[in-house]
Structure 1
Amino acid sequence: MAAITSAMVKELRERTAAGMMDCKKALMATDGDMEKAIEWLREKGLAQAAKKASRIAAEGVVAQYVAPCGCTGVIVEVNCETDFVAKTDNFKNFANNVAKHIAKANPATVEEMMEQKFVDDETKTISDLISDATVAIGEKISVRRFARYKTEGVVSTYIHMGGKVGVLVEVACDEAHKDNEAVKEFAHDLALQIAAAKPEAVRREEVDSSKLEKEKEILRAQALNEGKPEKIVDKMVEGRIEKYYKEVCLIDQAFVKDGDKNIKAYMADVAKATGAELDIVRFTRFERGEGIEKRQDNLAEEIAKMAQA
């Protein structure tokens, strides 16, 4: 029997989109013959995913997982082609399993995760699971991105509108209060706030400096175009930047549940009431399909193509 190399397995995977273990089995069954291995996979129904590889997967869900300890949290965007599939239990369960795997296996990248053995079934890699799901569900499925936080404090997640938006937030907290219900509620409220208000940074010093300078340039130009005297423009820009901070900095945003206080004041209230030492460390907000260009099908063009075939 011909030696089956990792390069051969890689090539077969690239050509068929089948799982790594399935590719290895196919090559072993066909004595290393690449073309016969492709036929073998097609006969087994394992190369069907390849036909779907060029499709655009812009629907899907953002799924979440928080470990029982409450110290590790994950959000992950898993895409499919249609909203119909995104709403099915099979797809949602698949996305939830991927989130749980990321929490337990701690991959650094999506690419690394694809090669990892699934934590609940070590006979399959995540790539194998995706190929299996693609065949079973009938649409292209892909894992686009994820965020994973591990902390000594508290992590919380929030999923909005059945997976359209997902948020992961980390709150630093002293050991004695990390299981306090008011502290947990504060963390959850932060996740809800981030989903609704779309902050770009936790605090002012974390706002991207180049973006801030660009904003100042725009505001200055607006003031001058309004005919404001040059001598008061800088003061006007300063006031408008203050408003900008209140829009993009989480700590300065008005609390969505109580517009009379900002998030900084809300955190101070919780700290005072519980005696906890609190700080907002970081957050990640994913919106399903953001940045993915959806294909716009033209019915007339499709009919014309079919007529020419």
Structure 2
Amino acid sequence: MSQISAAAVKELRDKTNLPMMDCKKALEEAAGDMEKAIQILRERNKNVAVKRGERETAEGRIATFIDSAAGVGAIVELRCESPMVIKSEHFMQLGSDLAKQVAVKNPGTIDELLSQPYVGDEKRTVKDRIEEAIGLIRENMKVARFARLTGQLGEYIHHDGTLGVLLQVEGNKADTTLLRDISTHIAALNPLYLNPENLPADVAEKEKALAKQQAEETSQGKPANVIEKIAEGRFRTWMEETVLTQQPIANQMKYGKKTVGDLAKGAGVVIKKFIRYKVGELT
């Protein structure tokens, strides 16, 4: 058996990000042939992925990618097995890589995403890239969901990576700080609907009826016009809690008591869509 130099092991480690001992063993099997050693490691990582593929992935991280010049962005939920892994640089980088992949290549499904040539190395597929990370970290990983938006975009990722938002606006060129602040607001307040026009008619009617019922129960004996005003106030409060553009901005120290809709209008933009992901919402 030929002697494997430390330099060769380090070179293979740098190329694959896999443990030094794994790299040394692969080089020994390949009789020092670097390309053959890489193939051995890739095949071995696939075997690791198969073995770990049935393990539950209850933890995870949200990742985003925005290319402002191209006007495209994406958000991805990447799952793993344990809380410690979500803090791993390799796992965080994988999430970022996958978000970029979605933004650039626009896959329609998870299966299509996995089969695409990986943007970081088109000799490999995205599935290969994930299996490489599984082999390195020794945990099962999977893409739970993803979405892609185009146009002017903003984003926010919570400090622990478990919550993220991708925001789409159109109109004047918006300040990136404002877009981030609105994205942060969405993460914190979790609106269910974009604006009053986006609110389904059946939902609005149901909430108005509930508001009227509650007003009648708590205001017995009062004139009908007073009860009507109380019901309108209750419905307005519900809208402020549920509809993004009606919500007072979360950061009132910075913006005062303006609503999100007022802030967008003042900046000359219209909020078109938002996507809010929280790890574990999908089982």
- The normalised TM-score by structure 1 is 0.69
The Cα of 1:78 is off from its aligned counterpart by: 0.5
* 1:193-217 deviation per Cα after TM superposition (whole angstroms, max 9, x unaligned): 1111111222112123343344345
Output the amino acid matched with 1:83. Answer: P
Aligned to 1:238: 232
Match of 2:276 among 285, 297, 306: 285
Distance 2:195 2:79 in 1: 31
Match of 1:195 among 149, 164, 187: 187
- Asked whether the equivalents of residues 73 and 100 of structure 2 are also in contact (C-alpha less than 8 Å), the reply is no
Output the amino acid matched with 2:158. Answer: H
The Cα of 1:66 is off from its aligned counterpart by: 0.9
- Partner secondary structure for residue 168 of structure 2: strand
Aligned to 2:52: 52
Aligned to 2:258: 261
Aligned to 1:166: 164
- Asked whether the equivalents of residues 45 and 131 of structure 2 are also in contact (C-alpha less than 8 Å), the reply is no
Distance 1:166 1:94 in 2: 16
Distance 1:130 1:123 in 2: 14
Distance 1:74 1:44, change over 3 A: closer
* 1:254-298 deviation per Cα after TM superposition (whole angstroms, max 9, x unaligned): 111224211222233334xxxxxx211111111111243xxxxxx
Aligned to 2:143: 143
How many aligned residue pairs are there? 239
The Cα of 1:45 is off from its aligned counterpart by: 5.2
Gaps of 5+ in 2: 1-39
Distance 1:238 1:127 in 2: 53
* 1:76-133 deviation per Cα after TM superposition (whole angstroms, max 9, x unaligned): 1101011101111010011111011111111122222111110111122112222222
- Partner secondary structure for residue 55 of structure 1: coil
- Asked whether the equivalents of residues 155 and 187 of structure 1 are also in contact (C-alpha less than 8 Å), the reply is yes
Distance 1:244 1:70 in 2: 38
- Asked whether the equivalents of residues 73 and 157 of structure 1 are also in contact (C-alpha less than 8 Å), the reply is no
Range with greater deviation from structure 2 (246-255 or 233-242): 233-242
Distance 1:45 1:114 in 2: 16
Output the amino acid matched with 1:262. Answer: T
- The normalised TM-score by structure 2 is 0.75
- Asked whether the equivalents of residues 101 and 118 of structure 1 are also in contact (C-alpha less than 8 Å), the reply is yes
Aligned to 2:20: none
Aligned to 2:23: none
- Partner secondary structure for residue 166 of structure 1: strand
Output the amino acid matched with 1:249. Answer: V
Output the amino acid matched with 1:284. Answer: I
Distance 2:60 2:182 in 1: 24
1:175-194 superposed matches below 5 A:
178=173, 183-194=175-186
* 1:28-71 deviation per Cα after TM superposition (whole angstroms, max 9, x unaligned): xxxxxxxxxxxx99x84532222322222121110111115161
- Asked whether the equivalents of residues 246 and 261 of structure 2 are also in contact (C-alpha less than 8 Å), the reply is yes
Gaps of 5+ in 1: 1-39, 272-277, 293-309
The Cα of 1:221 is off from its aligned counterpart by: 4.8
1:267-278 superposed matches below 5 A:
267-271=264-268, 278=269
- Asked whether the equivalents of residues 191 and 242 of structure 2 are also in contact (C-alpha less than 8 Å), the reply is yes
- Partner secondary structure for residue 290 of structure 1: coil
Output the amino acid matched with 2:156. Answer: Y
- Asked whether the equivalents of residues 252 and 263 of structure 1 are also in contact (C-alpha less than 8 Å), the reply is yes
- Partner secondary structure for residue 175 of structure 2: helix
